Structure 1
Amino acid sequence: MSTNRPSTPRNPPIVLVPACSKMLGHHPFQAAGQKYLDAVRLAGCLPLVVPAAQPEEVDALLALADGVFLTGSVSNTHPRHFGEEVHDASLPLDEARDAWTLPVVREVLRRGMPLFAICRGLQETNVALGGSLYQAVQEQPGFMDHRARDEDPVDVQYGPVHAVRVLPGGVLHAVLGLDDIQVNSLHGQGIRRLADGLRAEALAPDGLIEAFSVPQSSGFSLCVQWHPEWQASANPVSRKLLTAFGRACQAWRAGHHRHEDDDLAPET
């Protein structure tokens, strides 16, 4: 049966996609959005959805992987991880995801494994490395409201909302070759203090950091606040971002899993 989803090449890089905790009825589930999995496939990689991992499982999971893809989510990173109380108790949290993604971010970057992070993923990466967040950007003087309206159709929510200025000399500018791009905007939290050692890659018109990289990591790293996974196959900017991530994952696989690929090669 045919689908419109991207196909995955033979022996592709494996990319870990952390799941989010969800309650469906009376039962807890671990889930990942289909659009993120499709984006990983568009990058030429195989997504592996990982439920809330235990500390003793992390090394085994990373040994399987060639990259990590941190998704967006309706949930927020718990503010206790940057020394604050919860500002709005009506907003969802996901402490099960926090418990393993925050230390995993640090380990992935220490190893130089490719990392691509979207929205919540950008926020949790900044927090994992010692940065902090605004819990409600729209309440901060001088900042715009970066949230989408729930009453709008989904294609309007994920449509272009504002420009971001791509800063010269960074990863994002090298990948895109553009000085500014139009992005969607669906977030309430945002970066207050960028963690030490991180490099701002793009700014919103109000000055909010919309992308950053991790120069001290030896591998590819890029974290963006917008949602490039939305209809990515039809978006040239999204395709460039995912292609860059996919190539980095392929390079990691070639350097770390070459013998496994040789074992899987057909006999001649």
Structure 2
Amino acid sequence: MLSVPSLPLIGVTACHQEGEDHSTQRVSEKYVTCVPEPTGGLPLIIPALEEGQLDLDSLVAHLDGLLLTGSPSNVEPHHFNGPESVEGTQHDPRRDGVTLPLIRKAIEAGVPVLGICRGIQEMNVALGGTLHQRIFDFDDTFDHRMRRDVEFDRKYRPAHEIRMTSGGLLARIAGSETALVNSLHAQGIDKPGENVVVEAVAPDGIVEAISMPSAKAFVLGVQWHPEWPRPIEGINRKIFEAFGEACRAHLRARLGLADAAE
């Protein structure tokens, strides 16, 4: 007799990297380890394979959640009709080819989605929005990029405050309307996608969180890195816990146990 799974299966997106001999699929361990705790799920790494090598419909049918990770690479600008990137900008066309349609399919299927850093940018582009490619070139914003002149842990230090939309999803999760967050990004959201709602902004107006209230399930993207440092505390922990709760609800519904206790 098959046992009923008690933990939701949560897909974690990986990046493709060319090697001298073999290509690799890479995902920072910090994104994988935040799935068992505090999210409360089983992680499944989703490789950034060439188009047609992954049956995304079958994948979505087995997932209870989708975690879109951060990355040194940026979404290729042709996906949002942006100008060509500055020379030297890192891109990952295989990841774009997997994540952008996967996001749309997951949301349509009612699979909970949480996007982090590059992940929020992918979400916005997948839903028809656009991106600023180089925030640090603006005269009226501060530099949101990762500090490279400090030790590792200080790169993830609280960098600025965010102000959350009153009554929004993030404010309800946080139980407040302000929080201090880290900042390690060069790109940011320009125009929100279709049915995308801004959930938080930085003091300089840069979008720090988005949601999609019209979606069938939990959809949230944050521009900072809630997965680090450890232990995950405060608003960051609350985000993963809310995501996990939505993933468990999806698991119960997928198994026909929607009315069963967790």
Same fold (TM over 0.5): yes
Deviations 1:145-181 (A, max 9, x none): 1001223211111110000001111110111111100
Identical residues among aligned pairs (%): 40
| Equivalent in the alignment of 1:238 | 236
3-state DSSP class of the match of 2:190?
A: strand
**Which of 48-57 and 194-203 deviates more?**
48-57
Higher share in helix: 1
**Does structure 1 residue 52 correspond to structure 2 residue 65?**
no
Instruction: Determine if contact 1:39/1:232 at 8 Å carries over to the other structure.
Output: no
Aligned: 1:102 with 2:97: no
Contact 2:15 2:26 (8 Å CA) reproduced: yes
Distance 1:84 1:222 in 2: 24
Alpha-carbon distance in 2 for matches of 1:186, 1:224 = 12
The equivalent of 1:75 in structure 2 is 73
* Residue 266 of structure 1: aligned partner: none
Contact 1:116–1:245 under 8 Å retained in 2? yes
8 Å CA contact 2:153, 2:229 repeated in 1 = no
Gaps of 5+ in 1: 1-9, 263-268
The yes-or-no answer on 1:138 pairing with 2:136 is yes
What is the correspondence of 1:222-261 to structure 2 with a 5 Å cutoff? 222-258=220-256
How far did residue 107 of structure 1 move?
A: 1.1
* Distance (Å, rounded) in 2 between the aligned partners of 1:26 and 1:84: 33
Q: Give the Cα separation in 1 of the matches to 2:106 and 2:59.
A: 11
CA distance in 1, matches of 2:211, 2:82: 25
Q: Deviations over 1:27-70 (max 9, x none)?
A: 21011110001111110001100112544511111121101000
Residue of structure 1 equivalent to 2:16: 21
Q: Counterpart of 1:199?
A: 197
Q: How does 1:36-185 map onto structure 2 within 5 Å? A: 36-42=31-37, 43-53=39-49, 54-55=51-52, 57-185=55-183
DSSP 3-state at the match of 1:244? helix
Find the aligned partners of 2:201 and 2:120 in 1 and give their Cα distance: 14
- Partner-residue secondary structure (3-state), 1:233: coil
Alpha-carbon distance in structure 1 between the residues aligned to 2:251 and 2:60: 12
Tell me the number of residue pairs that the alignment of Structure 1 and Structure 2 aligns: 251
Do the aligned partners of 2:165 and 2:200 also contact (CA within 8 Å) in 1? Answer: yes
Contact 2:31 2:69 in 1 (8 A): yes
What letter matches 1:81 in structure 2? H
Using the alignment, how far apart are the partners of 1:23 and 1:151 within structure 2? 28
Deviation larger for 111-120 or 50-59 = 50-59
Answer whether contact 2:60 2:111 (CA < 8 A) is retained: no
Structure 2 counterpart of 1:265 = none
Q: Give the whole-Å Cα distance in 2 for the aligned partners of 1:96 and 1:210.
A: 26
Helix, strand or coil for the counterpart of 1:17? strand
CA distance in 2, matches of 1:168, 1:238: 18
Contact 1:132 1:193 in 2 (8 A): yes
Q: Which amino acid aligns with 1:169?
A: G
Q: Distance in 2 between matches of 1:61 and 1:109?
A: 13
Aligned partner letter, 2:43: P
Most deviating of 161-170 and 250-259: 250-259
- 1:30 alignment partner in structure 2: 25
Contact 1:184 1:226 in 2 (8 A): yes
Q: CA RMSD in A?
A: 1.6
Matched, 1:12 2:7: yes
More moved, 65-74 vs 139-148: 139-148
Q: Deviations over 1:89-136 (max 9, x none)?
A: 212100000001101111111122100000000001101111111100
